[in-house]
Structure 1
Amino acid sequence: MIILEKLESNMATLNLNQINLVGRIGQEPEIKYFTSGSVLAKVNLAVNRRSKDEAPDWFPLEFWGKQAEIVGNYVQKGSLIGIEGELKLDEWNDKSTGMLRSKPVVRVNRLELLKSANNSTNSNNHSQPTSSETHSQDYHQEDEF
């Protein structure tokens, strides 16, 4: 019984929500400024599969604060980036149906600018951790990104 309790206690600390991706930006970043002073950047990231014949996987990303500003200034459609983040579920009530909707989004904690859209190596790599503030309540978008 003691072993089981210890195992359950250790499992509670083993929760992990981390995602690492390298891919290309699919469209120009969408930047939002809030009256609170927060800044949000949203993009979709295309990550190629091993086979060139397969379509890439697409991941919606969100960046907050300084990283959002970096995305707005240095990232464009076609830029190659690497990210580390966590998967979260955005939930909102659909205005037209009243139903609860949700979609998974990657909240980025670390950003690496690898190559610009014109395929030249970026000489100014930025690696910035996001602040520990939680900003998810500031912005919800009902339309697909």
Structure 2
Amino acid sequence: MINQVTLVGRLTKDPELKWTTEDRAVLNLTVALNRFGKNKRVDNDADFIQCVVWGKRAEATAEFCSKGQLIGIVGELQSRNYLNKEEQKIYITEVLVHQIRYLSSRNKEEHIVNIVQEDDE
């Protein structure tokens, strides 16, 4: 079976690095992707894709990325669920990031920065 996702989009907010109780870095991102073609409903229509980054890759992404920056992601689709305070089951689908490329710099210069972070797990 194949489970591979490739996305290019812009970050919707500045990344906020968090740490698990096992002292492992985790970063949740939302990437905005413009719609084109038949699926486009209105001008400036976009999809907002939830992504999760772990370990050293999460630390580097938090350091080098900011809101509005163009990034490329390669990862896999995963789904999970949990019970909220009202005991309702909440389902989440997100991209587990394996590689990330920073396609624009924070200071909006014209050059492209290509940094590929290999799996650190």
Q: TM-score, normalised to structure 1's length?
A: 0.73
**1:77 aligned residue:** 67
Which position in structure 1 is the counterpart of 2:108?
119
Aligned equivalent of 1:35 = 21
Count of paired positions: 116
Which gives a bigger RCO, structure 1 or 2 (Cα 8 Å, sep 6+)?
2
Q: Name the structure 1 match of 2:31.
A: 45
> Alpha carbons of 1:54 and 1:63: their partners in 2 closer, same or farther (altered >3 Å)?
same
Structure 1 residues 90 and 117: alpha-carbon distance in aligned structure 2, compared to 1, 3 A threshold: farther
Q: Note closer, same or farther for the CA distance 1:33–1:85 as it changes in structure 2 (3 Å cut).
A: same
**Which one has a larger percent helix, Structure 1 or Structure 2?**
1
User: Percent identical across equivalent pairs?
Assistant: 32
Q: Structure 2 length normalisation: TM-score? A: 0.86
User: What is the identity, as a one-letter code, of the residue corresponding to 2:13?
Assistant: Q
Residue 71 (structure 1) shift: 1.2
Distance, in Å, in 1 between the alignment partners of 2:70 and 2:26 is 20
The list of structure 1 runs, each at least 4 consecutive aligned residues, that deviate by more than 6 angstroms after superposition, is: none
Which structure shows the higher strand fraction?
2
Provide the C-alpha distance between the structure 2 equivalents of 1:83 and 1:27, rounded to a whole number of angstroms.
16
Displacement of 1:122 in angstroms is 4.4
Q: In structure 2, what is the equivalent of residue 109 of structure 1?
A: 98
1:86 matched to 2:76:
yes
CA distance in 2, matches of 1:83, 1:72: 14
Aligned-residue offset at 1:30: 2.2
Aligned to 1:67: 57
Unpaired stretches in structure 1, ≥5 consecutive residues: 1-14, 133-145
Letter of the structure 2 residue corresponding to residue 36 of structure 1: E
2: CA distance between counterparts of 1:42 and 1:50?
A: 26
Output the aligned Cα RMSD.
1.7
Q: Aligned AA for 1:127?
A: V
3-state SS, counterpart of residue 103 of structure 2: strand
Cα shift at 1:54: 4.1
Q: Matches of 1:118 and 1:128 in 2, distance apart?
A: 21
